[in-house]
Amino acid sequence: MEDWSARQYLKFEDERTRPPRDLLAQVPLVRPRRVVDLGCGPGNSTELLAERYPQSDIVGLDSSPDMLRKARQRLPKCSFIEADLATWTPEPDTDLIFGNAVMQWLPDHPAIMRRLLETMPQGGVLAIQMPDNTREPALIFQREVGESGPWADDPEVKAAARDDLPPPEAYYDLLKPACSHIDIWHSVYNHVMGSAAAITEWFKGSSLQPFLSPLDAAAREKFLAAYTQKIVGAYQPRFDGKVLLRFPRLFILAVR
Ligand SMILES: C[S@@+](CC[C@H](N)C(=O)[O-])C[C@H]1O[C@@H](n2cnc3c(N)ncnc32)[C@H](O)[C@@H]1O
């Protein structure tokens, strides 16, 4: 995956940090020894963990040097490692593995979550949040534009769309045998956006990236114009000109 742009991602920092707050609020641990933030990005989710657990060793892990640079600047007291979470193994004293908005990028993430859970000490917590928005207009339009432009035959563009998440039952059947307690829930956020075009800006920092990164500057412009046209048609302004971005998310909290 192309290096993520930390600056673009942080344009909507308040909204993007709400789900990890909601996830962390459900974590029952009082004083975990080591806490790892998988896919820590620019450190916004890591900062929440450091505030809640000032006595713990807090580690951020990400595969993007750009994101890690930003995270290190923001949180000089935390440790950060560059790694691929698909092959990473936690230290034995890792009591909390937190992964906000990262697992959805790995198609085999259910098996990775099971593996991680199995390595954790008894009472350890695996806490995961993923966007469950592949059936929302904003994501459907990404696929439609990807399939219809001059870029339609580019193998990277063809592979850019995320698969739908498995249903909650699939996570339950896979994870429950390896844990003492599991909590699975959905929240649907309705983010207030300044305009429909702001929805394009939002997704430029996340799910549009794999569509855009294989393209040259002119093709990117064309892709974004076609996408924004569809967004403007589907996301109607409210009485004050603002637009609501409906955003379903899946939360999973498993206690070893
Ligand atoms: C959407 S950002 C989430 C940032 C932050 N956790 C938050 O709560 O806002 C996803 C991050 O996951 C990272 N990432 C994607 N695939 C990864 C992988 N296989 N291993 C480690 N990090 C990965 C990306 O570089 C990006 O920084």
Residue-by-residue pLDDT tens, the chain, 256 positions: 445 567 777 788 888 999 999 999 999 999 999 999 999 999 999 999 999 999 999 999 999 999 999 999 999 999 999 999 999 999 999 999 999 999 999 999 999 999 999 999 999 999 999 999 999 999 999 999 999 999 999 999 999 999 999 999 999 999 999 999 999 999 999 999 999 999 999 999 999 999 999 999 999 999 999 999 999 999 999 999 999 999 999 999 999 9
* Per-residue pLDDT at 207: 95
- CA 10 to ligand 1 centroid distance, Å: 13
41 lines ligand 1 (CB under 6 A): yes
Atom of ligand 1 nearest to the CA of 45: 8
| Per-residue confidence (pLDDT) for residue 2, from 0 to 100 | 46
Ligand 1 atom closest to the Cα of residue 43 is 5
State residue 178's pLDDT score.
97
Query: Quick one: pLDDT at residue 4?
Result: 55
Strand order in the sheet with 34-38: 79-82, 57-62, 34-38, 94-100, 125-131, 243-255, 181-193
Give the pLDDT of residue 210.
95
Question: If you take atom 26 of ligand 1, which residue's CA is the nearest one?
Answer: 41
pTM: 0.94
Residue 239 CA, ligand 1 centroid: distance in Å: 36
User: Which residue's CA lies nearest to atom 7 of ligand 1?
Assistant: 45
Q: Which atom of ligand 1 approaches the CA of 39 most closely?
A: 12
CA of 40 to the centre of ligand 1 (A): 6
How many helices and strands (H and E) does the chain possess? Answer: 11, 7
- Pocket lining: 67 vs ligand 1, CB cutoff 6 Å: yes
Alpha helices for the chain (secondary structure H): 6-9, 13-24, 44-52, 65-74, 109-119, 137-148, 155-158, 168-175, 196-204, 209-212, 217-234
Q: How far is the CA of 255 from the centre of ligand 1 (A)?
A: 22
Q: Which of 2, 7, 105, 191 to mutate to test the pocket of ligand 1 (most atoms within 8 A of CB)?
A: 105
Atom of ligand 1 nearest to the CA of 129: 8
- pLDDT of 136 reads 98
